[in-house]
Amino acid sequence: MEYSREPFTGNFHFGPFLLKKSVEVFYVSKLSYGIVNLKPIVPGHVLVIPKRVVKRFKELDLNEVYDLWHSAQLIGGRLEQYYHVQAMTYCVQDGEAAGQTVPHVHVHVIPRRAGDFERNDQVYEMLEASSSYLHGSRKWEIDTEERRVRTEEEMEEETKLLRTLFM
């Protein structure tokens, strides 16, 4: 099976949420897509998601695993170049006890810089704080925490920019 870029047609879901394509989706392959984050922990922190809504990594079939991780590799490579970083974190929180908050498999792809967090592993603390927000709502509103939730306009701007990396 080949994985390939695809047009931005159809409806894309993230668990129970219908994604706003022009605002959130920057990459589409045959079986996966890439979306920007409501509350990224660093610039370029994106998610790669199988189109089919299943909760756990083990539920993906062979073609989906193939497409998901080739997409993650491609996206990670382009982000690393674009953001001029020398490292990436790839992480799947697979099930609630692993910190999963949206019941739809997703790979966190996170550009990393030396010293980007006070402790190197703090990236995951931020990741969980970030994810836990989604427990509540996905409304576009200012958060009371240190990092604020982005506006729809900010997300759309990033989505436009990131789409240019995959043309």
- Binding site listing for substrate: 37, 93, 99-102, 108
Is residue 112 at the binding interface for a second copy, with CB under 8 A as the rule? yes
Contact status, residue 107 vs residue 68, Cβ threshold 8 Å: yes
| Dihedral sign of CA atoms 119, 99, 42, 106 in order | positive
Is residue 87 at the binding interface for a second copy, with CB under 8 A as the rule? yes
Contact status, residue 92 vs residue 106, Cβ threshold 8 Å: yes
Q: How far is the CB of 129 from a second copy (least distance, A)?
A: 8
Contact status, residue 68 vs residue 48, Cβ threshold 8 Å: yes
Is residue 113 at the binding interface for a second copy, with CB under 8 A as the rule? yes
Q: How far is the CB of 110 from a second copy (least distance, A)?
A: 8
Please confirm, yes or no, whether 106 is among the known catalytic residues. yes
- Judged on CB neighbours under 10 Å (0-12, 13-18, 19+), 32 is buried
- List contacts with a second copy (CB under 8 A): 57-58, 60, 62, 65-66, 68-70, 73, 76-77, 80, 85-100, 110, 112-114, 116, 119-121, 123-125, 127-128
Give catalytic residue positions. 106
